[in-house]
Amino acid sequence: MNLIKIDLKSIKKNPDAGQTMFQVAGRVHTEISFRGVTPQKLDKLDKIKVVSYSGNSRTGEVEVKAIGYGEYDDIMDELHKIKAKNIEIVQTRDVETVHSITPAPKYHFKYLNTKVECFECGVKIRREKIIEEDDCCRSYTICPNCREHDSFHFEFERISDALKRKGDV
């Protein structure tokens, strides 16, 4: 059985240790207004949904109110492609509260990318390259070389053992 050890340099105390309620960044809402385009150009937009427009469509002096979907840079790229003018973008982000039954751990850490041998084909593969799947009932691993299921024997080091190795206990 291979032991996948914790990278001792990666161990950091978790400032949220023991917490069961967290606030995380939520969805970004983007409101856009611009002018200087014809209604035909509005059909070419992928990241922007037009809510309303008004003005003289023949001269291109249409004022548009829209909602953006996606990253700020992608939205700006689309607006520049249609040669929009007087662009105003207002973005707000929701804050979501997440409740967890399991308290946050005392430490954050990463495991070393150890090579593990497939007992079917004998190839040593880095743990991060092993395919992990789950169906409705259980999780299993797949060897990327021979495609055999559950052909690795490894376990992960416990944080308490890593702290002893580091000398922090």
What pLDDT digit, counting tens, does each position of 44-72 carry?
A: 888 889 898 888 766 667 888 999 888 88
What is the phi/psi pair of residue 148, to 5°?
A: -75, 140
pLDDT in tens, the chain (169 residues): 789 999 999 999 999 999 999 899 988 899 999 988 877 788 888 888 989 888 876 666 788 899 988 888 989 999 998 888 899 999 999 999 999 999 999 999 999 999 999 999 999 999 999 999 988 888 899 999 999 999 999 999 999 999 999 887 6
How many C-alpha atoms does 5 have within 13 Å on its Cβ side?
9
Q: Which amino acid is at 36?
A: G
- What is the C-alpha separation between 76 and 80, in angstroms, rounded? 6
Going by C-alpha positions, the residue among 32, 62, 64 that lies closest to residue 47 is: 32
Residue 104 pLDDT: 94
Percentage of residues of the chain with pLDDT beyond 70: 97
Residue 57 pLDDT: 62
**H/E element, 78:** helix 72-81
The domains found in the chain, sorted by start residue, are 2-18+104-166 (no CATH), 23-96 (3.30.70)
Which burial class, exposed, middle or buried, applies to 108 when counting CB atoms under 10 A from its CB (0-12, 13-18, 19+)?
A: middle
